[in-house]
Amino acid sequence: MYDVAVIGSGVIGGLIFRKLTEYKLSVCLLEKAGDVCMGASKANSGIVHAGFDALPGTLKAKFNVEGNLMMKSVADELGVKYRENGSLVVAFCEDEVIKLKELASRGEQNGVKGIEIIGRERLKEMEPNISDEAVGALFAPTGGIICPYGLALAAIGNAMDNGGELKTDFEVVSIEKEEGGFTVKSANGECVTSRAVVNCAGLGGGKIAAMIGDEIRIGARKGEYLLLDRESGSAVNHTLFFTPTEKGKGILVSPTVDGNVILGPTAKEQADGNVLTSDEGLAFVSKKAGEMLKELPLYNTITSFAGVRAYSERHDFIIEESESVSGFFHCIGIESPGLTASPAIAKYVVEELMAGRYGWERNPSFNGRRRPDYFFKDLTAEQKNAVIAKDPSFGRTVCRCEQVTEGEILQAIRENPPARDIDGVKRRTRSGMGRCQGGFCQPYVAQLIARERGIPIEKVTKSGGKSYILMGVTK
């Protein structure tokens, strides 16, 4: 029997999983997909919010501000790229400037440091490419950017290195409360027993809650994005938001931590988790982004994608033990700023809700640092040569656009959590994420996956399931 089973391997489940391995526990992470972090954490804006947006007194406000303060050290330990680039909420008329003042005072109540309202001149200095229509902005220096799936992957990998167990392709279909714990059953008939269960199932959070009799409605909202080539990385410095109005929040325009520019998201209610992009959605994003910037290099678009965010009808995070079933914890309805809040939520759930209550002991051999905690591309020539001397595969470039080496790809396939498909390698290494979108490197990555996993190349998938990249041999 496990001490804790965590359902869902997004950034919330992942960081809770890791936090649990700081204690002497046996822990497992259950994921229905073939790889970790396949839901909302895979496809979102990657923004570390400063914390002026959430209403004071909400869990969102509390965990946003706490999470923001924790993010740098968490990213550091896990070797995840993070940059405090600062956020700007841009006003395009005097009415919007009034709204900015409201946001600023909300931010102060929430305890956000350094917020100020700036005028047109200062804004132009900070963002030379800002639209001439902009009249001012709210500047939050503590806003940042991070790779969301990078954070989840690293946390899960680190937890596994510290003894946590991962079970992918484990779609939970039933949960039975029994004497001293729970039996969690998968669609394949596999059973896991655990003393406590944490529900971090994102979009599926309501369904999981229903399995123990809790009725929590979780809605789905799709967001579509465009991503621009790193060549256009200098088009924007800070994360730019439109001033929220009655008509909605608009979209954001931001650099990503890897140097691209991200535009989006749309926000459209839908019944399911489909991540299809639409003509209207992508056109809306292009149009809004064009209003924000003087010059928007849309010709440098390298990809578009959609993600689906879960939200609860409480319009706040649901982070609590089930009222009806003791030992079952919900962490669901984690919409924006959930990524920012994730380290604080993990700390709260494990330390405040669980550890004391169960009398857990700290795990003295826990190592919070993940190996290797560097990005090969960013090393100096001497450092690279030291790595290549030990393992020549780091000297072979596979993805030319993002300069990813064979060594890094092999590492992604071998280390925790292992990449099993093309997209899995891509999320871990950035191979195929550049301007040619895998046109050159995919055949090589597919061969490495086939070799390492001992499967024929026709069995290599793009993203698990039956998403085979090839359909047989030519002759």
Summarize as ranges the residues that interact with other proteins (CB under 8 A). Answer: 226-227, 231, 275-279, 281-282, 286, 299, 301-305, 381, 384-385, 388-389, 392-397, 400-401, 403, 435-440, 442-443, 447, 457-458, 461-475
Least distance (Å) between residue 273 CB and other proteins: 11
- In angstroms, the CA 219 to CA 6 distance is 21
Residues 6+ apart with CB under 8 A from 331: 12, 13, 16, 198, 199, 200, 317, 318, 319, 345, 349
Least distance (Å) between residue 76 CB and other proteins: 26
- In angstroms, the CA 177 to CA 194 distance is 10
Least distance (Å) between residue 282 CB and other proteins: 5
Give how far Cα 85 sits from Cα of 101, 142, 209, 240, 256, Å.
Answer: 21, 8, 38, 11, 10
For other proteins, the closer CB: 184 or 289: 289
Which among 255, 457, 368, 435 has a CA at the least distance from the CA of 20?
Answer: 368
Least distance (Å) between residue 383 CB and other proteins: 9
Least distance (Å) between residue 365 CB and other proteins: 35
Catalytic choice (49, 238, 315, 330)? 49
For other proteins, the closer CB: 96 or 421: 421
For other proteins, the closer CB: 26 or 393: 393
Which among 53, 19, 38, 15 has a CA at the least distance from the CA of 337?
Answer: 53
Least distance (Å) between residue 425 CB and other proteins: 14
Which among 155, 185, 123, 179 has a CA at the least distance from the CA of 343?
Answer: 155
User: Is there a catalytic annotation at residue 49?
Assistant: yes
- In angstroms, the CA 200 to CA 341 distance is 14
Which among 199, 319, 267, 206 has a CA at the least distance from the CA of 44?
Answer: 267
- In angstroms, the CA 213 to CA 211 distance is 6
| Beta bridge partners of residue 134, listed in sequence order | none
For other proteins, the closer CB: 99 or 453: 453
Round the CA-based radius of gyration of the chain to a whole number and report it: 22
Least distance (Å) between residue 265 CB and other proteins: 15
Which among 56, 121, 42, 45 has a CA at the least distance from the CA of 85?
Answer: 45
For other proteins, the closer CB: 172 or 422: 422
For residue 278, give the amino acid letter.
Answer: S
Q: For residues 384 and 376, is the Cβ–Cβ distance under 8 A? A: yes
Which among 81, 15, 50, 77 has a CA at the least distance from the CA of 340?
Answer: 50
For other proteins, the closer CB: 247 or 466: 466
For other proteins, the closer CB: 215 or 272: 272
* Start-to-end C-alpha separation, the chain: 51
Q: Which residues are catalytic?
A: 49
